[in-house]
């Protein structure tokens, strides 16, 4: 035995085999890669071998015992990459990409989440490194004098490359154009492994950065032609019905539609929201076939889509990677057309998701971030301010705004890992044994109660009747990793088809002067909200580049693209390129028409990406009156350090400049915590 390890090459092959097997074990145990045939099963097993040979092989070029150190260092780096993906996947059901890694501002608030995503048994994932270190210590003396001929590492490298080429050609045979067309990271990891995925991702990112440099004004024409062609004429009876009305838009964090009218232990989970859906006197219209269209950008993607009618990017969050692009967003449009004051309310700090940069490009006049709220310990849980104090403290801020206003209030408590204090838990958890799923109902109930209180306050303040009020869910809260528990909740196996159905989030809208339509079954997505709002206000959405269509229009398009290139229609659903009949959930052969629509979805996504990556709106003028947004006039953060609870005695800190823009006065910061 001892003799075997006298040679560095044996040590190297042990390292290769251990890393190869560890990667495979993790693919099988941690990721949900949906292996569909023998080729895929083989490639899943095979794909880490070439990466282990090629990357660890680099270490062999070092001389003497240093070769051992380099193999261990490279192995550790690869293992860290692998494990980071495991933790990330446990919540996001997705892999880390370069843009998500640059979202470091977000990591601070993630502490609680990360702790709940790791488990002590993960230590076994480091076992191979410990073995290698032990071997190194034991045998390094023998290696210091051993000379490896240059030919050996070169041979290892060549064998690695051959293995990779074989891998790639088998993958391409099973999935043509794998690297060219796919929007689904799962495919790349399944066929080529996590390490090659990381390289693919890096190349993609370099490519997209160069797209901005290379883009020119002609590029916008193709996008413009597409969106103008897709445009749906407004419903003449509703066009302009809400002109100049206040708009209150409420973001329901992680809220999926299955919660609506759901009963747990014989009790409604969200009685207040249910009453808006079920009681015709409330004048709300509820869309029960409304889908989120978000990807890795989660909340930020939902915001981007809802305020721009553009798609988020396939990787990372456009809020972060495209935060300085030119936009023609809803806040700026409302301000320019009808002199709205636009404000976002959110109990997290302003840099999260790069909001304090991108909101300037959107033309958000005021961002009431955490620095405007009382963030003392009893008010805060998980990511930030609890929803009840959030709404309570938002009321005076809302009342202080110039009217008409566009107020976007974003809740936070109903967020993974769904933490709720004893004092706030008014419904018992579910009993599936899966903690996230069980407490999901408790934070949903808390959010529901917070909403009821806010609606009462709005009524009391006289802001309810005459305002457009809109509520929407931003994205799923329970990922595919919880299928076992979700089966108990829904009473059905969570197949890929079923999982797509679970991507429904609620959309509720009340428009002054329009009777509620009850529950509408039309299929729609977050993309459709912005053109709908513009038309209600009497602003022609056709001037702007938008991929959605007005929900109240006869020409509304009833196909909802998902960011990964799949889509759903009233009749069928496409998941990972497989077509399912909505009525039966059974697989069906796609017709020509279905395939054509699939191409249209991919084309639409490509155009949206092209627009964001090329920053193409800088070349586009919607109409003669349009003034490009000047981000330099906006400044966010309550630098006075005075939180709203104490604000009553204070003078208002806003004043208008000559252009009618509302500017924050910037007294010296007194609270070090809120200084940047």
What positions carry a catalytic annotation? Answer: 299
In this structure, what is the dihedral angle of CA atoms 343, 517, 460, 367, given to the nearest 10 degrees?
-10
Phi, psi for residue 339 in degrees, rounded to 5: 50, 40
Binding partner at 383 among ligand GP9, Mn ion, none, C-beta below 5 to 8 Å by kind: ligand GP9
Closest CB to ligand GP9 among residues 220, 529: 529
Q: How far is the CB of 415 from Mn ion (least distance, A)?
A: 6
Closest CB to ligand GP9 among residues 255, 567: 255
Are 301 and 282 a contacting pair, CB within 8 Å?
no
For 347-495, where are the alpha helices, taking DSSP H only? 355-362, 387-399, 435-460, 483-490
Closest CB to Mn ion among residues 445, 556: 445
State the SS3 of 118-151: CCHHHHHHHHHHHHHHHHHHHHHHHHHHCCCCCH
d(CA 297, CA 352): 12
* HSE-up (13 A, CA, CB side) for residue 191: 22
Q: How far is the CB of 614 from ligand GP9 (least distance, A)?
A: 25
Q: How far is the CB of 105 from ligand GP9 (least distance, A)?
A: 10
Binding partner at 75 among ligand GP9, Mn ion, none, C-beta below 5 to 8 Å by kind: none
Binding partner at 226 among Mn ion, ligand GP9, none, C-beta below 5 to 8 Å by kind: none
Q: Binding to Mn ion (CB under 5 A): which residues in 466-525?
A: 474
- Short-list 598, 593, 668, CA closest to 637: 668
Which letter does DSSP use for residue 661 in this model? Answer: -
Are 258 and 268 a contacting pair, CB within 8 Å?
no
299's CB contacts (< 8 A; 6+ apart) are: 251, 253, 353, 410, 474, 475
d(CA 594, CA 111): 44
Binding partner at 352 among Mn ion, ligand GP9, none, C-beta below 5 to 8 Å by kind: ligand GP9
Q: Is 295 in the site for Mn ion (CB under 5 A)?
A: no
Q: How far is the CB of 475 from ligand GP9 (least distance, A)?
A: 7
d(CA 78, CA 23): 10
- Residue number closest to ligand GP9, CB atom: 298
Binding partner at 348 among Mn ion, ligand GP9, none, C-beta below 5 to 8 Å by kind: ligand GP9
Q: Which residue has 């929407």 as its token pair?
A: 472
Binding partner at 320 among ligand GP9, Mn ion, none, C-beta below 5 to 8 Å by kind: none
- The window from 92-100, 140-148, 296-304, 464-472 that contacts Mn ion (CB under 5 A) reads 296-304
Closest CB to ligand GP9 among residues 197, 383: 383
Closest CB to ligand GP9 among residues 215, 381: 381
Closest CB to ligand GP9 among residues 216, 676: 676
Residues 244-283 as x/- pattern, contact with Mn ion by CB under 5 A: ---------x------------------------------
Q: How far is the CB of 105 from Mn ion (least distance, A)?
A: 16
Closest CB to ligand GP9 among residues 316, 516: 316
Kindly tell me which residue out of 85, 299, 317, 394 binds Mn ion, with binding defined by CB under 5 A: 299
d(CA 90, CA 187): 18
Q: How far is the CB of 385 from ligand GP9 (least distance, A)?
A: 10
The residue count for binding Mn ion (CB under 5 A) is: 4
Which residues would be at the binding site for ligand GP9 (CB under 6 A)?
298-300, 348, 352, 383, 412, 415
d(CA 344, CA 358): 12
**Residues engaged in binding Mn ion (CB under 5 A):** 253, 298-299, 474
């Amino acid at each position: 035995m001892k003799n075997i390890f006298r040679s560095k090459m044996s040590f190297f092959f042990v390292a290769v085999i251990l890393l190869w097997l560890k990667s495979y074990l993790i693919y099988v145990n941690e990721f949900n890669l949906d292996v569909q045939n023998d080729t895929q099963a083989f490639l899943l097993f095979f794909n880490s071998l070439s990466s282990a040979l090629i990357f660890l092989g680099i270490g062999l070029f070092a001389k003497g015992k240093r070769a051992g150190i380099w193999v261990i260092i490279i192995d550790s780096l690869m293992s860290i990459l692998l494990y980071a993906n495991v933790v990330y996947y446990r919540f996001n059901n997705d892999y880390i990409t370069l843009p998500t890694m640059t979202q470091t501002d977000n990591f601070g608030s993630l502490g609680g989440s990360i702790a709940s995503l790791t488990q002590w048994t993960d230590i076994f994932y480091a076992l191979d490194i410990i073995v290698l270190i032990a071997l190194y210590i034991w045998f390094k003396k023998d290696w210091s004098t051993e000379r490896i001929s240059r030919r050996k590492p070169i041979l290892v490298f060549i064998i690695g490359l051959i293995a990779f080429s074989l891998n790639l050609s088998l993958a391409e045979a099973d999935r043509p154009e794998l690297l060219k067309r796919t929007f689904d990271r799962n495919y790349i990891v399944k066929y080529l492994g996590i390490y090659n995925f990381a390289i693919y991702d890096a190349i993609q990112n370099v490519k997209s950065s160069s797209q901005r440099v290379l883009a020119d004004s002609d590029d916008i024409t193709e996008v413009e032609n597409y969106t103008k062609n897709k445009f749906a004429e407004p419903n003449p009876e509703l066009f302009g019905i809400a002109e100049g009305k206040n708009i209150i838009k409420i973001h329901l964090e992680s809220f999926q539609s299955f919660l609506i009218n759901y009963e747990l232990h014989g009790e409604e989970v969200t009685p207040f929201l249910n009453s808006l859906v079920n009681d015709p006197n409330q004048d709300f219209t509820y869309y029960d076939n409304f889908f989120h269209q978000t990807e890795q950008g989660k909340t930020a993607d939902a915001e981007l889509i809802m305020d721009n009618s553009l798609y988020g990017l396939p990787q990372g969050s456009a809020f972060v990677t495209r935060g300085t692009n030119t936009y023609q967003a809803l806040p700026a449009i409302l301000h320019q057309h009808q002199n709205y004051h636009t404000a976002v309310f959110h109990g997290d700090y302003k840099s999260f998701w790069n909001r304090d940069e991108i909101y300037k490009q959107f033309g958000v006049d005021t961002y009431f971030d955490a620095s405007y709220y009382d963030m003392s310990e009893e008010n805060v849980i998980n990511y930030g301010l609890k929803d009840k104090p959030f709404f309570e403290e938002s009321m005076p801020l809302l009342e202080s705004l110039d009217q008409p206003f566009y107020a976007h209030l974003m809740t936070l408590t109903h967020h993974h890992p769904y933490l709720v204090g004893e004092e706030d838990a008014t419904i018992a958890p579910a009993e599936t044994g899966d903690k996230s799923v069980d407490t999901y109902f408790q934070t949903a109930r808390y959010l529901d109660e917070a909403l009821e209180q806010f609606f009462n306050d709005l009524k009391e303040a006289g802001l309810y009747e005459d305002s457009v009020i809109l509520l929407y869910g931003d994205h799923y809260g329970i990922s595919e990793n919880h299928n076992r528990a979700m089966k108990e909740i829904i009473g059905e196996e969570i197949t890929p088809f079923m999982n797509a159905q679970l991507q429904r989030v609620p959309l509720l809208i009340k428009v002054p002067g329009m009777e509620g339509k009850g529950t509408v079954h039309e299929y729609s997505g977050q993309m459709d909200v912005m053109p709908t709002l513009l038309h209600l206000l009497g602003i022609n959405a056709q001037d702007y580049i938008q991929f959605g269509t007005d929900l109240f229009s006869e020409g509304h398009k009833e196909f909802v693209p998902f960011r990964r290139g799949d889509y759903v229609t009233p009749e069928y659903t496409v998941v990972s390129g497989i077509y399912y009949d909505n009525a039966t959930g059974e697989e069906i052969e796609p017709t020509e028409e279905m395939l054509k629509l699939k191409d249209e979805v991919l084309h639409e996504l490509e155009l949206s990406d092209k627009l964001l990556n090329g920053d193409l709106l800088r070349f586009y003028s919607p109409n003669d009156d349009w003034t490009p947004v000047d981000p330099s006039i906006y400044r966010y953060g309550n630098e006075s350090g005075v939180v709203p609870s104490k604000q009553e005695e204070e003078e208002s800190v806003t004043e208008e400049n000559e252009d009618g823009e509302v500017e924050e006065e910037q007294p010296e910061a007194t609270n070090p915590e809120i200084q940047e």
